[in-house]
Structure 1
């Protein structure tokens, strides 16, 4: 789905969802899922279960893809997935960053965005943080 989005589409979707759900509560599971995923994408919370517990469950093999049309990268394991904006810093664990680097970023076309993203994840993988290993 993200292949067909550009960044402006994604930003408009986030704005629309925020406006709609400020007027009324989400009623369907799909609306709730969309809200959660977009909120994680645009307003990451270090206390969120995604960052505190889920990453520990993501082991090799994973797929790591970049959707450069909208500036989103996606990490997918058998039963877990994380969407992230390229330019944002998220509380990725060193172990997951190592798995991501090991499995290589999948891109349709090489770009500076892809190179910058690889360098950012490589820096996390090589960090000396001990709290999350």
Structure 2
């Protein structure tokens, strides 16, 4: 006789077929706008918020979307608010500029929440005041010592404890401890 026993921690998603992203567009339904992700085989998914996309993406998806967005806006400017949102968030993520207004807003950060999306290697600092900072785990961003310290005293929200979360905490700690210039 065969008995099937569910194993805890088994990743069912790993057994599913993953379809690469081949295009994207802004999809409107009523008054709401979504980012529509088009995958090979015409598999589509829509995301209203950027962090919803991060929950569903892995690193390859994120890099492919950045490539497609960059290609589209290489010769034109985003005309739609949702297009601009996707462009700005991905540009900040992959090509952070020290003169971006976002980094000046750090002075207003006194209370934050910090989350790791380990499937795509992004961590997200956000406040009740609507300040959102998305960062790739492997990159360093122009964060102030105050923001870095707040990150360390705040619980890092993760789906599960893993090497990436421990390495991220170590990296942030090293940035705080680095001598000032």
Q: What's the TM-score once normalised by structure 1's chain length?
A: 0.90
**1:73: which partner in 2?**
123
Instruction: Judge conservation of contact 1:42–1:85 (CA < 8 Å) in 2.
Output: yes
RMSD, aligned CA = 1.3
In structure 1, runs of 5+ residues without a counterpart are none
**1:83: which partner in 2?**
134
More strand by proportion, 1 or 2? 2
In structure 2, runs of 5+ residues without a counterpart are 1-51
**2:167: which partner in 1?**
116
Instruction: Judge conservation of contact 1:94–1:127 (CA < 8 Å) in 2.
Output: no
2:146 to 83, 88, 95: 95
Q: Report the number of matched residues.
A: 128
Q: Please give the secondary structure, in 2, of the residue aligned with 1:98.
A: helix
Instruction: Judge conservation of contact 1:94–1:126 (CA < 8 Å) in 2.
Output: no
Q: Which has the higher contact order (CA 8 A, sep 6+)?
A: 1
Q: Please give the secondary structure, in 2, of the residue aligned with 1:22.
A: coil
Q: What's the TM-score once normalised by structure 2's chain length?
A: 0.67
Q: CA deviation at 1:84?
A: 0.1
Asked whether 1:32 is paired with 2:84, we answer: yes
